Structure 1
Amino acid sequence: MPLNIANKNTHAPRPFAAFEQEVVSQSALRAAITAAYRVPEPECVPALIEQARLSVSVAQAAQSLARRLVGALRASGRRSGVEALIQEFSLSSQEGVALMCLAEALLRIPDTATRDALIRDKIGGGDWAAHASNAPSLFVNAATWGLMITGKLVATSSEASMASALTRLIAKGGEPLIRKGVDLGMRLMGEQFVSGETIEQALANGRKRETQGFRHSYDMLGEAAATAEDAQRYYRAYQHAINAIGNASARRGIYEGSGISIKLSALHPRYSRAQRTRVLAELLPRVRALTMLARQHDIGINIDAEEADRLDLSLDLLEALCFDDSLEGWNGIGFVV
């Protein structure tokens, strides 16, 4: 006869008991978002494709607008040196990817040693010779030769030939100058993608486009808090930026004026699901204070995207923020996905 043996050990270890206390009931919408986490592409893509299909009239209008924009750009005359350089080194090439990495990264590297290490890593393996004399722009060819020479300088270690000796000679006498040239060239390219090294520079550089109807959401590159001190520094930087953007916007409103994007992981050093209780207790007041400051200036504030495994935590903070009584009736909160 089968026996029904019950486990009467009521003191069995429960290693995840602490997490059980943080499991909260979800609305239907939040439950649907959670259920969609890491769904296999073959299951979710077909339905998304159908939803993304444009009507014939909308598709034709989009194509017509794209043709007009491209036609106007081509008819505007000669491209600038930076545009020609980007055209030559497209993102489909190894060299193009290296240039884009440098253009962004060099702007936020303060010390020479780290900057040189990055240049050596990104440029040393590129096939710069393949681009030499392929483009009509003098700027492109000058940059190509500079990158080709610098690439050889940082990549060559053989002492078997006169060429390697010549390379060592040039490196000994002129490597700092060449590196400075590459640094300046990358900074020139970075200006096409980075508005400024400070919020004041960014606002000044964006002023002309604002008169043409453009609006900006400013954010900072390299946001990540490893310590509480880092989080405080970013918090103060966001406060300063909100005040600067607010003064520049002069209360034109969240749609007519520019805004700011903030990174939650920059405001807390332990921004992870495992620290949910601590994050809600410590981070939510900081985000609320920044949002209240943005409301005082009447500028939009966007919560920037994080890694996928932080989405639920970001939504918890967003939900708490949007239902805050002190922010009722204000539509300036955005969420980047």
Structure 2
Amino acid sequence: MAVVLVADDDDATREVMAELCCTLGLRVLQAVNGEEALASIKANKPDVVLLDLEMPKLDGLAVLESLRAHAVAPAPGVIIVTANTDATGKMRGTELGAIDFVDKPFRVAELRKRIERVVSIVRLERHLHSAENVLAQMRAHDPVTGAGSFGMLSSALEACFTCARVTGKDLSCVVVSDELFPQLLNGEKRSNADTRLRKIASSIEKVLRGADMLFRVDHAEFVMLLPGTPEVGARRVIERVGEALSQNGLEDGVSLAVAAATYPHPEIEQASTLYRAVNVSLAQARSRVERRVAFFEGF
């Protein structure tokens, strides 16, 4: 059962919201001021918070600032509920991590829809978080580089794509392929080839954020999933990977082929299509003599 915290200093409003949440099958916690709300979030880790902006002791924005500063995990889905018509507070709340907002006086039907939507988003994000935890536990499946396996990529890609589709956030998929690896296997000791793979993996890991994921899906292919990253961000990640490779004594030119695809895109409607798109781009990158980098434009 999902847990919702209703934080509002107005007793009547708080009770209406609490009763609505009960009808949705949610377990309800209540707070009458910002300090109580913050303490309850830290202690009970609710899935959703209905947060009034104008409260005594700590206002809603101060609560959000504290949550961001202390990185409470798993983070709740916050819906701002306010009688203040000034857009500044709402914009600031969104910047601090709030998912949605509702104006007072609110219509119960509208608030119900907002709550149901945020509960769905939070469940998907928690599912993604669980997938990341499973990935962390299964990294040993690739003893050479420590990256995730192809099986883990499939699960994580589905979870990331679903989350991106529901939340409206971007999702980029980047592939780095070492074209020199087969030659190394034929002409050198396997240990030398494995050392090169470890250097590539460690170079990529250096530029990834906490939410990003790395997988080794073939002998010498690495796949990055970059949640919340648009194409311009993926381009920057590729640049930084190239810099890290150079620092590690590896060339990022003709020996590597790099490709990227980003959702949303008119031709990408599901997770498998995103993966197909990045592989189409990888084939294009491999066909180039110099600057072997390609971004998906279309099938």
TM-score after normalising by structure 2: 0.26
Whose Rg is larger?
1
TM-score after normalising by structure 1: 0.24
In terms of fraction of residues, the more helix-rich structure is 1
